[in-house]
Amino acid sequence: MNANLLSYHKVTDRLDFGVTTRTLADFRADVAFIRSLPESQRPEICFDDGYEDAFENAFPILAESELVANLFVITGVLGRRNVWDFTLFGEFKHLTKAQVRELSDAGWRVGSHSKSHLALTTLSVAALRAELRDSKKFLEDLLGKRVTTISFPFGNFDERVVEECKAAGYEEAISIKKPSQDGFVKRSKAVYRFDSLNAIRAKLRNDPLELFRLRVINACSRATILMHRLKGYKPIADAE
């Protein structure tokens, strides 16, 4: 993967509680800016979580500019609602298996975002291996292609998680929080609701103030991890 990565979550005009939603107009402007850059300077676009709007809204906009994206799928929730996330203004639907296949056939690079979207650093060895290996096998069976990339839920990883990823057959990973010293994990900069094009430019040049701002925002993901504990959210037994 490219050294410069931008991570998106939702692209929709629906009202949403969180900061990870990008409106269609803003995403279209982002894509136009990225397309205007020399090819060697263009960041790769990534989508975490695998919401249906990646297919319905982002896919057509990217196709107009002859661009593709990396898609990181939570395999246990395909075709389901996002019960694992905050849903103050209504639930959002995840991609179906058919939509993931269509995106893959269109040139999107599909990777794992785990099976259940739990913080991998909090899991037992057995549960961690299931999240990594079951999601990888599910996607490979679905697409008939090798799956070698993973995006860590919440951006969280440690040495144990990296070693288990390598043992499971992943060749690279991304985190919205930090890279790893050995280069296996690359840092992707998340794009949020309130980001201007100047903020995106700052992300691409690794501006220290922008990276600090991202660290502060990303720290808020602890709220979702806490919610999981309070609700007793458990690993999903099987992807459907």
Asked if the structure places residue 205 within a domain, the reply is: yes
Domain count, the chain: 1
Domain holding 78: CATH number?
Answer: 3.20.20.370
What's the chain's Rg over C-alpha atoms? 17
Asked if the structure places residue 97 within a domain, the reply is: yes
Average pLDDT by consecutive 10-residue portion of the chain (240 residues)? 92 87 97 96 97 98 97 94 70 95 98 94 95 97 98 96 98 96 96 96 96 87 63 61
Q: What is the pLDDT of residue 35?
A: 97
Asked if the structure places residue 121 within a domain, the reply is: yes
Other Cβ atoms closer than 10 A to 125 = 9
Q: What is the pLDDT of residue 90?
A: 74
Q: What is the pLDDT of residue 233?
A: 59
Q: What are the structure tokens assigned to 232, written together? A: 């007793």
Q: What is the pLDDT of residue 41?
A: 94
Closest CA to 127 of 239, 234, 50: 234
Range of the domain at 133: 5-231
DSSP string, 75-141: GGGTTSB-TTS--TT---BBPPHHHHHHHHHTTPEEEE--SS---GGGS-HHHHHHHHHHHHHHHHH
Asked if the structure places residue 240 within a domain, the reply is: no
Q: What are the structure tokens assigned to 233, written together? A: 């959210």
Asked if the structure places residue 109 within a domain, the reply is: yes
Q: For residues 56 and 11, what is the distance between their CA atoms, to the nearest angstrom?
A: 9
Asked if the structure places residue 237 within a domain, the reply is: no
Q: What is the pLDDT of residue 84?
A: 65
Asked if the structure places residue 194 within a domain, the reply is: yes
Asked if the structure places residue 145 within a domain, the reply is: yes
